[in-house]
Chains A and B, each alone.
Chain A
Amino acid sequence: MTINSRITLAIKKFFKKFGKIIFIVLFIWLIVFFINLYLLKKPEELIATNTYNPDTPIIDYGGKVPNKDKEEVNETLESFLNYCKTKDYENAFNMLSDNCKNYLYNNNIEDFKKYVDAVYTEYNNYSYTQNYSNKDDVYIYDVTTLNSDILATGTTGGYDTYKDRISIITENGVKKIANQGYIKNINISKEIEDDYMRIKVISKDCNYDQVTYNLEITNKTDNTIVIADNKANQEITLNLEGEYLNVENVMTLSGVIKPGQTVNIILVFNKFFDSNREESQINFNYIRVMQDYDSNMSLDEQREKANRIYSLNIELQ
């Protein structure tokens, strides 16, 4: 047998033995090769990305808006803004939570109209939203509204922006709006009493950066009781698990209670809604029970004439 015929025979034998495998490998390779070739020729799908992420909270203690709520939250916010822009006062007002209507607008749509007219000065105002923070199923957004269409003006004549902090809360299973930084009212109904006073903590109104406690205090004595008259330091504080916040409205609150009188007082503290410290106590640190009280008295004079000076803590938890 010649060399040529031996080689031919060997090749024949080889293909007889491995032909199927080689064919399958070649077939698969051809498929992969052409798919690759197709992908290479296919234009890459390009998308413009930017750093505007309205759904990413600026403060992320409370995480993101859950996916199950995201669509409803965005629709609620968008509907409210559209109603405001188109001056559909009634529909916009109806989207507000009951607490918000009461706290900010005295349940009066005319008060709400004033807000809308002040902010949304032009039809079709441009506004954009940014999730700010989320806590306890409250989704807080910053909404920036421009008073002119800057794309149409090119900023000719300048422009102003109005920033509102809007919360989306759930009220009776429906998503509602609370705007201007207000969030919600929480009922407390706590009552304590000693020999001198009966104190009811009725509720608290939460704004994003403030909490306001609503109290009713009854003076049970024949003396004047001074809980705060801005003469002593830290007359009323809010205990945040060891951190003490001074009351902010000491100048305006009715902190001098006449004999037998019942007064409603509000205590305002600068506490952020999304703070991870819980409110544990309201502290009345310098209560003065006085036979004769005069607002011109110095603290030293009050100390001399007071029947009793004491402190009182109201547990909130």
Chain B
Amino acid sequence: MDKRIKIIIVVIVILILLALNLMVFINNNFKSDDSGEENKIVNTIVEHNIATEEETEQSRKEMLNGYTEATRIKSYVGQYLSYVDSKDYESAYNLLYDEFKNTYFKTLEEFVTYAENKYPDEIFAEYTNMEREGTIYIVTVKLKDTLNKDFAQIEQNIVVKENDLNDFVLSFEVE
């Protein structure tokens, strides 16, 4: 066989292998950007990412990692409000800071009673302010009822401490 043809074959084989490697590299390093998700959360409607059954901890972390700091904290608040909105009071209660629970809601029943009286049936949340004291965030939300116009809107401070991605505790202003 002509020497030139042999070299061409070797080069083609190497190029194919390199292309395969490149494909794996691109898959590995250039994933689609999740930042577009941010708008969902900046908007006022509580449609915050309650983890669906198939959503893994890791994928939620990846999603949160793509958010800005403010959006991430709002997302935690949104998660709490979503639990309340869907009457999953136990999950909402589990997000509360222990010392806060000990002071204001020693039992889940106490919290359920409070939540049922305080929060609207169909929560519409509007974030009106956010402050940070060191590593603790204070998010102010206005809560309305999307279905019940007679529900007088309430404003509440929700305090969030993020330990790590998707690892947080919160408390709120009790009135």
| A residues with CB within 8 A of B | 10, 13-14, 17-18, 21-22, 25-26, 29, 32-33, 36-37, 39-40, 43-44, 46-52, 126-128, 144, 146, 149-156, 161
Contacts and interface: CB of A to CB of B under 8 A. Distances in A.
Interface string B67-98: 00100100000000000000000000000010
Given A29-B21, A151-B100, A50 B135 contact: yes
Contacts of B61: 46
Nearest to A49: B69
Nearest to B59: A43
B36 interface: no
Contact of A40 (B28, B159, B172): B28
Which of B72, B134, B164 neighbours the largest number of chain A CB atoms within 10 Å of its CB?
B134
A153 to B, nearest CB: 7
B24 to A, nearest CB: 4
Interface in B120-160: 132-136, 138, 157-159
B169 interface: yes
B58 interface: yes
Contact of A128 (B17, B134, B138): B134
Contacts of B99: 149, 151-152
A52 B132 contact: yes
Contacts of B103: 152-153
Nearest to A40: B28
B171 A48 contact: no
A151 B24 contact: no
Contacts, number: 106
A32 B169 contact: no
21 contacts: A13-B1, A17-B6, A18-B6, A25-B14, A25-B17, A26-B17, A40-B27, A43-B58, A44-B65, A48-B64, A48-B65, A50-B162, A126-B136, A149-B99, A150-B133, A150-B171, A151-B97, A152-B99, A152-B100, A153-B103, A154-B104
Nearest to A39: B28
Contacts of A10: 1
Given A14-B1, A22-B10, A154 B157 contact: yes
Nearest to B69: A50
Given A152-B103, A154-B157, A36 B136 contact: no
A156 B173 contact: yes
Nearest to A54: B134
Nearest to B24: A36
Nearest to A26: B17
